[in-house]
Chains A and B, each alone.
Chain A
Amino acid sequence: MNKYALLVLINSPLIVCAVLMAVTSYKTGRSTRRRCTVLVVFWLLVGIGMLFVEPAYNSLVRANLTESPPLSVFDIILLTALIFLMLLLVQLYDKLTNLSRKVSRMHEGISIMEESKLKIDGSVSNV
């Protein structure tokens, strides 16, 4: 089997998954439209780049611009691992951002609640 086809075959489900995750995140209100657009464009570029790896490599070799050996099975594993790690990284970043916003909102709410409690207790009468 053509190694380039194998590369696309293995990685396309990951890219489809990444695009779906970005859209789902936006549709469920966990992410902004801008972020969704940026992520979808990014993953589509990765996918398109992968489709054109073979013609790009061939034209570089023809023009004597590279002497690197053709794609090996190890390269395919390495690229797949890299894309999988990127997917994890984006997901972790999303989770961290959402968590940080939740903590921030909670902190804000508790601080305001504490101020109101002080007023009810009668310790402060400054309004």
Chain B
Amino acid sequence: MEGSGVMGDARRDVLAVIIPAYNEAGQIAEVIRSVPASLEVGGQAFRTVIIVVEDCSRDSTYHEALDAGAIVIRHFMNSGAGAATRTGFSYVLKNAERLNVAYVATIDADGQHSSDDLLRMLQEAVATKADLIVGNRLHAGNKQDMPLHRTLGNRGLSLISRMLFGITTEDTQSGLRLISIDALPGIAGFTIDRYGFCTEILWRARQRRLKVVEVPIAVRYSEETLGKGQSNWGVFDLVTDLVALRLIG
């Protein structure tokens, strides 16, 4: 597939930022406000439109996201991070023309990502004309910031993804990624509703021979962030989803 070639296309100047959120009251507003209203790359300004997919939270995530000025899509039953991201992708695809979307980014709702990295990923996407940019948290610079069990878990899952699907991306489970609007239809049809979708997105990109680039990103873990994330059973679920995907598609 050809690169997006967004530079020079003045009509497409929006970066849609999708934030799947579940029980993120107290964090979500800050995450929304941390995304700048526009990002300038090589003389072209990209406006940002923030789309929060609230996955049937039990707290006030929905109202906090609305008050912070995001477009909020509300799931009426809890469906998982993958399903929430897919809803966000569907919304963007349905409204791409109206909103003039050039790129779509996904970021985690727990505040572990920085908007500086979003800018760097956008710069990389424009410079390399890559279809998919993945934020890599597993580089040497993050050794101090990422707890050992997280590092080992993420590396283990990346290894499993490599063995099952031949994906060479170092951090397959990163929530920070950026996709060109031209590449989105080929990726948005993933089937896994839970965390395995991160690997499935990369697999679909590989099947369609899309250009995938990794960019090192910072990571900020708070006590709250560390309390969330994958439980051991969640990891088991993730692996079974991936094995089933590999075997029976």
- Cα distance A57–B90 when bound, in Å? 56
Q: Which residues of B contact A33 (CB under 8 A)?
A: 249
User: A115, B91: Cβ atoms under 8 Å?
Assistant: yes
Question: Once bound together, how far apart are the Cα atoms of A33 and B73, in whole Å?
Answer: 33
Stretch at the interface among B75-83, B118-126, B139-147, B154-162: B75-83
A107→B75 CA distance, assembly (Å) = 7
Residues 219-233 of B at the A interface (beta carbon under 8 Å): none
- Is A114 interfacial (CB-CB < 8 Å)? yes
Chain B window 83-127, contacts with chain A (Cβ cutoff 8 Å), 1 for yes, 0 for no: 100110011001000010000000000000000000000000000
With CB as the reference atom, state the residue of chain A lying closest to B90. A108
The smallest C-beta distance from A38 to any residue of chain B, in angstroms, reads 5
A115-B74, A127-B71 given; A108·B99 CB < 8 A: no
Q: Is A111's CB under 8 angstroms from B71's CB?
A: no
Contact of A112 among B69, B73, B191 (CB under 8 A): B73
A34 with B249, Cβ < 8 A, contacts A104-B79, A108-B86, A111-B76 known: yes
Over the window 31-53 of chain A, the binary record of Cβ atoms lying under 8 Å from chain B Cβ atoms (1 yes, 0 no) is 01111001000000000000000
Cβ-closest chain A residue relative to B49? A127
- Interface: B1 (CB within 8 A): no
Central interface residue in A109, A111, A112, by most chain B CB within 10 Å: A111
Given A34-B249, A35-B248, A38-B247, check contact A111 B74 (CB 8 Å).
yes
User: Which A residues between 86 and 127 are near B, CB-CB below 8 angstroms?
Assistant: 101, 104, 107-112, 114-115, 124, 126-127
Query: How far is A107 from B248 in the complex, measured between Cα atoms in Å?
Result: 24
Known: A104-B83, A127-B49, A127-B99. A111 touches B75 (CB 8 A): yes
In terms of DSSP, what is the predominant structure of the interface of chain B? mixed
Instruction: Give A13-40 interface residues, CB cut-off 8 Å to B.
Output: 32-35, 38
- Could you tell me if B76 and A107 are in contact, using CB atoms closer than 8 angstroms? yes
User: Is A111 touching B73 in the complex (CB atoms < 8 A)?
Assistant: yes
Per the bound structure, the CA–CA distance linking A32 and B200 in Å amounts to 15
Interface of A is mostly: helix
- Chain A interface residue count, CB cutoff 8 Å, equals 18
Contacts of A107 in B (CB 8 A): 75-77, 79, 83, 87
- B29 CB–A CB distance under 8 Å: no
Question: Quick check: B87 and A108 within 8 Å, CB to CB?
Answer: yes
B66 at the interface (CB under 8 A from A): yes
Q: Which residues of the other chain, A, contact B238 by a CB distance below 8 angstroms?
A: none
Known A107-B77, A110-B76, A114-B74; judge A38-B99 contact (CB<8 A).
no
Contacts of B48-66 to chain A: CB distance below 8 A: 49, 53, 66
In the assembled complex, 8 residue pairs joining A and B whose CB atoms fall closer than 8 Å, in A order, are: A32-B249, A35-B248, A38-B248, A111-B53, A111-B73, A114-B76, A115-B72, A126-B70
Q: Which residues of B contact A (CB under 8 A)?
A: 49, 53, 66, 69-77, 79, 83, 86-87, 90-91, 94, 99, 191, 193, 247-249
Q: A32-B249, A108-B83, A114-B73 are in contact. List 5 more A-B contacts (CB 8 A).
A: A112-B90, A114-B74, A124-B72, A126-B66, A126-B71
